[in-house]
Amino acid sequence: MDKANVQRVDITEAARELVRELTEEHGPLVFHQSGGCCDGSAPMCYQVGDFRIGQRDVFLGEVEGCEFYIGGRQFEAWKHTHLTLDVVKGRGAGFSLEAPRGVRFLTRSRVFTAEEIEQLEEPRRGPAE
Amino acid sequence: MTYAFPNSDGALINFKSRYENFIGGEWVKPVKGNYFENITPVLGKPFCEVARSTSEDIELALDAAHKAKKGWAMTSVGDRAAILNKIADRLEENLEMLAVAETWDNGKAVRETLAADLPLTVDHFRYFASCIRSQEGTLAELDANTVAYHIHEPLGVVGQIIPWNFPLLMAAWKVAPALAAGNCVIIKPAEQTPTSILVALELFADLLPAGVLNVVNGFGIEAGKPLASSDRIAKIAFTGETSTGRLIMQYASENIIPVTLELGGKSPNVFFDDVLAQDDSFRSKVLEGFAMFALNQGEVCTCPSRALVQKNIYDEFMDLATERVKQTFPGNPLDPTTRMGAQASNDQLEKILSYFEIGKSEGAKVRLGGKRAQMEGALAEGYYVEPTIFEGNNAMRVFQEEIFGPVVSVCSFDDYEDAIKISNDTLYGLGAGVWTRDMHRAYKAGREIEAGRVWTNCYHLYPAHAAFGGYKQSGIGRETHKMMLDHYQQTKNLLVSYDQEPMGFF
């Protein structure tokens, strides 16, 4: 398995379509994986530049042209899992851009295989230069 | 007796088909004229429309609040306290109706809204009425002729974003201290539960001067963001999750205003080996303490969602605890004997189900539940989940993230040090539970666990006058205590000289 082929984050076709629509409406987008209560564990979708990516945030990869980040400490608890950005019907709280459409992004996860973990590269921390 | 569904024969509450915003003492249509459907999780179906507000509506509310600001700040503490007490009386007189309304909006069992949500809401207004009435400033006599007076003043106009898990109670936690301290308030309720607070407001709106309390509904991105980022608020309070918490702090930093945040946890509930030492009522209380993860369908920031059981009693304890949890199963939330209602929304349901997959994928063992509860008849499309017990280890995602469902992840520990180490191995520090017959161990553990509240030989009690708030990533500030007044007040220092002689500098 080639290193470049092991991704930390992927996206479903339905989520891809929603990202395209939201990009058309709002411009370039970024995802930040939330934690904690209420809508914690939900991925948040913001306009690029609205949410300030911190120096400790971990860059997990790109989905449909959008960068996907998670908090540094949360990454430590999540790093053994592969994430897939999906979308379901519902109504999330928080400031995520899709909520008014009656849908909510959802992070699905699976555990990386031992082989995949060996192939994974150390992710970048902080915003893109 | 099971309560009739709202808007049916014999119902305690008939919801309106549409609810407007409450701004400047009046019910006001949203400027853009848009509404969204509010869904009851009991049935998974819409039951009313609510204003889908935008920045224009937030600006109207800010106008109204600023107009009312001076008058409310100048209202005597005696009068403010009297109004809060009257609000409490009105809510109490309508407690049963409000409990049913809350159940319909949120999905939780009416047994809980009757016994906890509403009585605590009522008491919260009374508590802060007494706090503000009895609060005193200080003075320091610096020398024979110089006195420093410290006087409490309100911040002015504040914004509050309310979560959906206890819509009325969480609103009371924020509104009561803010109003008591003399602030004018703009509330943005959660979009999942926007209605019960309006039903409550209809009961007591006449008690408050116009503009003192304003409620603007809508989506986070469309209404919450303009409120949180406004330069016309003096403070923002938020309960929710960490990404939005960071965003709120970021907006607050742009305006240099304070924030209070409550962002959840992954609360450890620790059972030491002496809890089973006797077969007595305390043993039964301990098992109840384990089963508490199912309270409010697990949708509590302090859900005891990690249970730590000492290894030498693990098997016996888990057999007893599992039997206790089996007595709890979702049912019609309007039946007062039902212990568990519906999850608050479809995406919440989906998220919980996705965690069942993550847990299994990580190798956690499903001891009980682990699936959606399929209900029959009218409830078939509601969002119900079976109480679930996972067994695994603390490194698993189901031990590290608040699932916000009726799910507990259980692991064993060897000794005291191990228990503390596992308890503190989390990003969060909101709540914790310690269960033991040994008061020395209880005190030591309570002090060493890094959490804002450690329930000791009890759990899930939320009385006013006991401070609630988080360590670590769980947030900033302490609610449900008179110290919350500090979060809604400025300190004015008058430094006064009673000396008639010149100071002698120039």
What are the pLDDT digits (tens) for B198-248? 999 999 999 999 999 999 999 999 999 999 999 999 999 999 999 999 999
Residue B414, both tokens:
């060897």
Interface of B with A in 402-421 (CB under 8 A): 402-404
Length of chain B: 506
- Which residues, in sequence order, are CB contacts of B500 under 8 Å at separation 6+? none
| Residues A99, B357: C-beta atoms closer than 8 Å | no
Q: How far is CA A52 from CA A31, A128, B103, B251, in A?
A: 11, 12, 37, 10
CB-nearest to B241 from A37, A97, A104 is A37
Q: How is the beta sheet containing A9-11 ordered, strand by strand?
A: A9-11, A81-89, A103-111
How does DSSP classify residue B368? Answer: E
Token output for A62: 């790109």
- Spatial CA neighbour of B400 closest among A104, A43, A73: A73
- Numbered residues of chain A with Cβ closer than 8 Å to any chain B Cβ: 32-42, 44, 46, 50-52, 54, 71, 73-74, 77-78, 80-81, 88-97, 99-100, 104, 106-111
What is the average pLDDT across B397-416?
Answer: 97
CA quadruple B472, B360, A33, A99: dihedral, nearest 10: -120
Q: How far does the CA of residue B295 sit from the closest CA of chain A (Å)?
A: 15
Looking from the CA of B55 toward its CB, the CA atoms found within 13 Å total 8
Query: Hey, are the CB atoms on B191 and A91 less than 8 Å from each other?
Result: yes
SS3 B207: helix
* pLDDT, mean of residues B67-93: 98
User: By C-alpha distance, which of A72, A67, A63 is closest to A49?
Assistant: A67
CB pairs under 8 A, 24+ apart, for A120-125? Answer: A120/A3, A120/A6, A120/A8, A121/A3, A123/A8, A123/A58, A123/A59, A123/A60, A123/A75, A124/A58, A124/A59, A125/A55, A125/A56, A125/A57, A125/A58, A125/A59, A125/A72
What distance in Å separates residue B248's CA from the closest CA in chain A? Answer: 10
Q: Does B34 touch chain A (CB under 8 A)?
A: no
| Residue with tokens 């897939």, as numbered in its chain | A84
Q: Percent of chain B beyond pLDDT 90?
A: 100
Tokens of B487: 């979060």
Contact residues, chain B, for A99 at CB < 8 Å = 191, 219-221
Q: Considering CB atoms only, which of B225, B240, B347 is closest to A106?
A: B347
The catalytic residue positions of B are 262, 301
pLDDT for B368 equals: 98
Digit-coded pLDDT (tens) for B22-50: 999 999 999 999 999 999 999 999 999 99
How many residues are present in chain A? Answer: 129
The distance of A105 to chain B (nearest Cα, Å) reads 9
Mean pLDDT of B340-348: 95
Q: Answer whether A108 sits within 8 Å of B39, measured CB to CB.
A: no
Q: For residue A95, what are its two tokens?
A: 């400031």
CB-based contact B351 A96, cutoff 8 Å:
no
Contact A37 B264 (CB under 8 A): yes
Please answer whether residues B429 and B450 qualify as being in contact, where contact means their C-beta atoms are separated by less than 8 angstroms: yes
Residue pointed to by tokens 């999942």: B192
d(CA B161, CA B487) in angstroms, rounded, equals: 15
Which of A81, A95, A107 lies closest to B220 in CB terms?
A95
Chain B contacts of A80, Cβ < 8 Å?
362
Interatomic CA distance for residues B460 and B469, integer angstroms: 14
pLDDT score for B181: 98
B239 in A contact zone (CB under 8 Å)? yes
Both tokens assigned to B57 = 């509506």
Q: Which tokens in the block code for residue B24?
A: 């400047």
Rounded to whole angstroms, what are the CA distances from B340 to B107, B286, B299, B318, B333? 9, 20, 11, 21, 7
If we measure between CA atoms, which residue out of B112, B12, B106 comes closest to residue B337? B112
Q: What is the pLDDT of residues B126-139, one digit of tens each?
A: 999 999 999 999 99
**B118, B95 Cβ separation under 8 angstroms:** yes
In this prediction, residue A1 carries a pLDDT of 47
Question: Which strand (E) or helix (H) includes residue B356?
Answer: helix B346-362
B190 vs A110: CB contact, 8 Å cut-off?
no
Residue entry with tokens 């911190």: A54
Q: What is the DSSP string of A72-100?
A: HHHHHHHTTEEEEEEEEES---SS-TTGG
Residue B67 contacts residue B211 (beta carbons within 8 Å): yes
From first to last of its 129 residues, what are the pLDDT tens digits of chain A?
Answer: 455 579 999 999 999 999 999 999 999 999 999 998 888 789 999 999 999 999 999 999 999 999 999 999 999 999 999 999 999 999 888 999 999 999 999 999 999 999 999 999 999 999 998
> Within 10 A of B412 (CB to CB), how many other CB atoms are there?
21
Q: Read off the pTM.
A: 0.97
CB B182 within 8 A of CB B80: yes
Contact B308, B345 (CB under 8 A): no
Alpha carbon distance B149, A96 (integer Å): 46
Q: Which two tokens stand for residue B144?
A: 């024979």
